[in-house]
Amino acid sequence: MQESLFTNSPYVIALTVVALIIVCYFPIMLGQKTSVKQLPRSIHQLVIISIFWQASNLIGDIFFSGDNFIAGTKAYTARQLIFCTSALGWIQLGNAIQHTAEISLKIKRKNGWKLMNIFGALAILLSTYAFIKDPSYIPDMNFFGYRPFAERPVFHFYTLLFCLFVVPNIIVTGYIMLRNIVHSSDTTLPHQVSIYMLTSFVFFVTLAALFDFIIPISTKFNNYDQFLKWSQFISVFLAVLSGQYFTSVSFKNKSASWFLDKLKDRMVDGIIYYNYKGEIQLANPAALSILHTTQEALHNKKITSIFPQIQDPARESTYNKIRIKIDNEDHIFNVSIFEIRQSLTTNYNAAFFSDVSNTLHYQQIIKNRDEQFKEYQLDQIRYQERLNIWKKKVDESKYFLDTLISTLPFRFWSKNEQGVFMTQNQNDIKNRGNLLQTSEPDNKILPQELLARNEGEPQSFISYERIKKTLNENNEEEEDIEILKQDDYNMAVRKGVAKDIMIFNNMFIPIMAPRKPYKIIGIKIDITKEMRLEKERDMLQEQKHIHSRLEELGTICGGFAHDYNNILGSQIGFCDLALEVLDKDNQAYMFIQEARKAATRGKESLEELLNTIRGKTSEKDKLTEFAPYMIIDDVVKKLWITLPPNVKVKAEKLDKNIRIVGNVSALDRIISNLANNAIFAMKENGGTLTIALKREVLTEPLITPYAPQIEAGTYAKITVEDTGTGMDTATLERIFSPFFTTKAPGEGLGLGLSSALRLLKEGNAGYTVQTTLGEGTIFNLYWSIRNEKMEA
């Protein structure tokens, strides 16, 4: 089975040439960059292996690309040998990378890795011999009936060798660098270089693995005709990174040497540098002054000739009270021996010594320090006095602020970032007890408070609260706060049971800080009295307005009703004459009959209006037993005449067997008013008006918001449903008030629903209303169904 081991891509060949030039020039550049005479052997080895790999692949790409090589030919053998040399390169590269990391971090080399490197090279040679001698040997290898190398044998077999002999080196190298970073307490330049080296190493190794193994295998070797090309190029970057790491350490050492040179020249104690043979190379000016000698006289002298008591000059140690003679004078020295590593390959020793016999100098230093200490004490006293003054001012401000907070007429508290109470005024403690240094349970924290604390947005809202008494686990009575919705509060107001409901204005104000969560301030103001007074004021104003309008309307309607009653009487008379003249089969006969019915209902309404204006309390109209579906059909016919084009009306599920006892004209007016309001709500965007009639049995009283209670019983349920704009809470509260309307001036008086409510009360009927803003409104009318008792 043939595979393409090399590629003839001009781009890959060009990159190989560039990589070869870089890796060849790199040792020269590295030698110019660092002052160390000889680079570590591992870096040289890394560079040479990279050159060897780049060159062998360049030869293979130029002369042995493609898959048209026949086994047994010289060209096939030469191609396999070139590939073998390339494979030996990457086997050796993994070992060189690990060796470089060990030398850079001063880790002792272990012989096990060298042995593993030898085994890897032998495995490459044996596999190359097998591919040349018998190309089908490795593809035909069978392990318990499984042939792992049947397809693309070169790629899979050499990938196995790569995982066995190269990947462990890469993993250990990464582990060595990571351990050095974790265990290092130095945060200066070497530590930063180590982090940069590890990050770059992991990035390049991951990149090579992605393009050399993961992508080819995942794409099933689509357009794949090469092996370890990315690893080949990235070997150049690994060599450069290793050199950079080494030279960074070298530069660091040069910077340290510069600093030590400046420091030793200004020290009052002596420092002598000597090599591993114990020969003095350099002494600082203080050492020359103490020893009464010169630099030339000390050069290449043995350190033991100056301090004979030093037994091993190459070992770090400390010698106390060494007595020597200088110009026939006895001097006592304390000497410390240190090892200074100049580079990876060279190191020096330094003898640090001080003349302890010269005590006058130190006595003067101690005297100066005592004087400085006294000055520091005086400064400390002055600073403490200033601090006390500021502390007094802060305490006064705190007392003032605490007094102000405690006397606030509303509840005030503050919490820290974790929700723990830090401040409470007397009003808040009186309402819920002392909660300082504690936090509330999660189920009692309001969402507005969490939003202010976590997002930094001030929150303000009205809450309706009622004290609710409950029994705890010990059957003891406890008081708890029940938070109501605004609809529940409005319902309680309508029923007259809202006296125990308190209304509060709540505010949660975050204290801005650099990061979240924030501290917050809570304010709770009791506005129950103000809200109730405002409600009563609005009701009085509305009633005053209604009475004024009703008075005006009564005066106007009195004259209008008399005139219009005469007009309707003549209209009815002419309709009767027309009905006598026309044939019943004529279509106009039906239209005139409907017109006469409408005029008759108008005359009856006007008569009722006149009686109301006159203040008559005559008997109610005689109740009639009738089928309500006929009234619904009649209303639908009237609506079709003036219906907007974008609105549809349909009457469905009309139970024709239902009979009720009531006023026909009242039911007609109720449904007409509800339907006209629904059509107006759909006038702009269009929609559908649905009127339904069915029998409904209530087994228990029906209680709904914004409507009186409906007792249990059997009812004819008339539903008027639209898909219009719906109503908000404020509108829903006032829809049955006289003269309240949402229509534009000149389009309505606001008397339709108020008159419908009056007619419902007269007919002992109930109602419910459901509305959703933007979706529509549903009115349900509950009319008592005729039964045997009614008939009797």
**Sequential DSSP letters for 705-727:** TTS--B-SEEEEEEEEEE-S---
Residue located via tokens 């009738």: 626
Angle CA 186–192–193, to nearest 5: 115
- Residue 439 carries which DSSP code? B
Residue 623 is given by DSSP the state P
Tokens found for residue 688: 């559908």
Over residues 635-679, the pLDDT tens digits come to: 888 888 778 888 888 887 788 888 887 777 777 888 888 888 888
Of the candidates 2, 9, 3, the residue with the CA atom closest to the CA atom of residue 229: 9
Run of H or E residues at 193? helix 189-209
Q: How many Å from the N-terminal Cα to the C-terminal Cα in the chain?
A: 108
What's the pLDDT at 251? 45
Least confident of 4-13, 26-35, 717-726: 26-35
Token couple for 145: 């009936």
pLDDT at site 515: 82
Q: What would be the CATH architecture of the domain defined by 10-253?
A: Up-down Bundle (1.20)
Q: What is the C-alpha separation between 290 and 326, in angstroms, rounded? A: 9
- Give per-residue pLDDT as tens, 46-91: 778 788 777 887 787 788 777 777 777 888 888 788 888 878 877 7
Dist. CA 325–CA 329, nearest whole Å: 5
Q: How far apart are CA 724 and CA 678, in angstroms?
A: 7
Q: What is the mean pLDDT of residues 319-324?
A: 83
Q: Which of the following CATH numbers is that of domain 267-357: 3.30.450.20, 1.10.10.10, 3.40.50.720, 2.40.128.20?
A: 3.30.450.20
**Nearest CA to 283 among 261, 313, 305, 304?**
261
Sign of the dihedral through C-alpha 226, 229, 232, 233: positive
This prediction's pTM: 0.34
pLDDT-derived band at 552 (thresholds 50, 70, 90) equals low
Tell me how far CA of residue 437 lies from CA of 43, 401, 431, 433, 452, in angstroms: 64, 19, 17, 12, 20
Give CA–CA dist 722/646, Å, rounded.
13
Predicted pLDDT at 507: 92
pLDDT given at position 625: 81
Q: For position 752, what pLDDT does the model report?
A: 52
Q: Give residue-wise pLDDT tens across range 452-465.
A: 888 888 998 888 88
* Mean pLDDT, the chain, integer: 77
Query: Cβ atoms within 10 A of the Cβ of 123, count?
Result: 18
- Show me where the domains of the chain are located: 10-253, 267-357, 411-526, 531-618, 620-791
3-state secondary structure 638-659: HHHHCCCCCEEEEEEEECCCCC
Pick from 668, 637, 669, 633: which is nearest to 654 by CA?
Answer: 633
Of 332-336, 561-565, 590-594, 617-621, give the lowest mean pLDDT range: 617-621
Q: Where are the beta strands (DSSP E) in 108-227?
A: none
For residue 59, what are the contacts with CB-CB under 8 A and spacing of at least 6? 82
Contacts of 655 (CB under 8 A, 6+ apart): 629, 693, 694, 695, 716
Please say whether the beta carbons of 631 and 664 come within 8 A: yes
Least confident of 123-127, 395-399, 788-792: 788-792
Residues 184-221 pLDDT 10s: 655 444 566 667 777 877 887 787 777 777 777 777 77
Phi, psi for residue 178 in degrees, rounded to 5:
-65, -45
Provide the pLDDT for residue 738.
57
Which of 440, 436, 434 lies closest to 453, judged by CA? 440
- In the CATH scheme, what is the code of domain 411-526? 3.30.450.20
Average pLDDT over residues 544-570: 67
The pLDDT score that the predictor gives to residue 526 is 87
CATH topology for 620-791 is: Heat Shock Protein 90 (3.30.565)
Is there a common fold for 10-253 and 411-526? no
3-state secondary structure of 784: strand
Mean pLDDT to the nearest integer, 470-478: 72
Q: What is the number of H-type helices and E-type strands within the chain?
A: 23, 18
Residues 340, 345, 346, 349: what is their CA dihedral angle, to the nearest 10 degrees?
Answer: 40
pLDDT average, residue stretch 527-531: 84
The pLDDT-based confidence of 788 (bands split at 50, 70, 90) is very low
Name which of 457, 406, 398 is nearest 429 in CA terms.
406
The per-residue pLDDT for range 712-722, each reduced to its tens digit, is 888 888 898 99
Query: CA-to-CA distance for 707 and 781, rounded, in angstroms?
Result: 11
